[in-house]
Amino acid sequence: MSSSTREEVLRHIDTVGLMQPALHKQTHAPSPTQIDHTLYRAYTRTPHDVGGEPDVPIVWHEKEEEIWELNTFATCECLAWRGVWTAEERRRKQNVDVGQTQYLGLPYYGRWLMTAARILVDKQYVTLTELVNKIDELKQRAKSGQSLGEYSPAKTK
């Protein structure tokens, strides 16, 4: 019977609600006996599965999308059209593989952008060395006041 499953599931949802990343408290590799099944499941759950988790209300902010966010979205869609990833691979990377701290801590499109870079490295379209060198080159260019050559759409009236 599944009443024990329901008990476990509801206990799990209560437990993950306590697992907001806490910067003020360091954790050190615990001994295996300190991690019972409830804690193990809470730690290894997929962080996007937040349904039912107790939490404080989120303040609603009306925010216009920024150019870099739209460019990020378009880049990710192009990666899908060209067969680099499926939507499900993208969601796994941007919502789960990042881990709970980044999932809750980074802006939404920040995770999209990180993930676009990550898939290109993971599938060997670029090497991490090339990516790091490119980021460094652009940082230097920005520091010297030069344009980064980023795309901005023409102004409409």
Partner 1 sequence: MSNKPVYDRTHHAKMATGIGDPQCFKGKAGNAKFKEGDRVRIKDLPDLFYTRTMTYTRGAVGTIVRLVYESPAAEDEAFGNEDHPEWFYSIVFSQKELWPEYSDSFGNDTLETEIPERYLESA
Q: Which residues bind partner 1 (CB under 8 A)?
A: 2-3, 5-6, 8-10, 12-13, 41, 44-46, 49, 51-52, 80-84, 86, 88-89, 91-92, 96, 123-124
Nearer to partner 1, 48 or 138 (CB): 48
| Tokens 């990516």 -> residue | 131
What's the rounded Cα separation, in Å, for the pair 90 and 8?
30
Structure token digits, residue 42: 């809470």
Supply the minimum distance, in Å, between the C-beta of residue 81 and partner 1.
Answer: 7
Nearer to partner 1, 64 or 88 (CB): 88
Supply the minimum distance, in Å, between the C-beta of residue 4 and partner 1.
Answer: 8
Cα separations in angstroms, 110 against 17, 68, 99, 102, 114: 23, 10, 14, 10, 6
The answer to whether the beta carbons of residues 48 and 91 sit under 8 Å apart is: yes
Nearer to partner 1, 10 or 135 (CB): 10
The answer to whether the beta carbons of residues 93 and 45 sit under 8 Å apart is: no
Active site residue 43: no
What's the rounded Cα separation, in Å, for the pair 128 and 6?
44
Supply the minimum distance, in Å, between the C-beta of residue 88 and partner 1.
Answer: 4
* Catalytic one of 40, 43, 103, 108: 108
Nearer to partner 1, 21 or 52 (CB): 52
Structure token digits, residue 107: 């802006």
Catalytic positions: 108
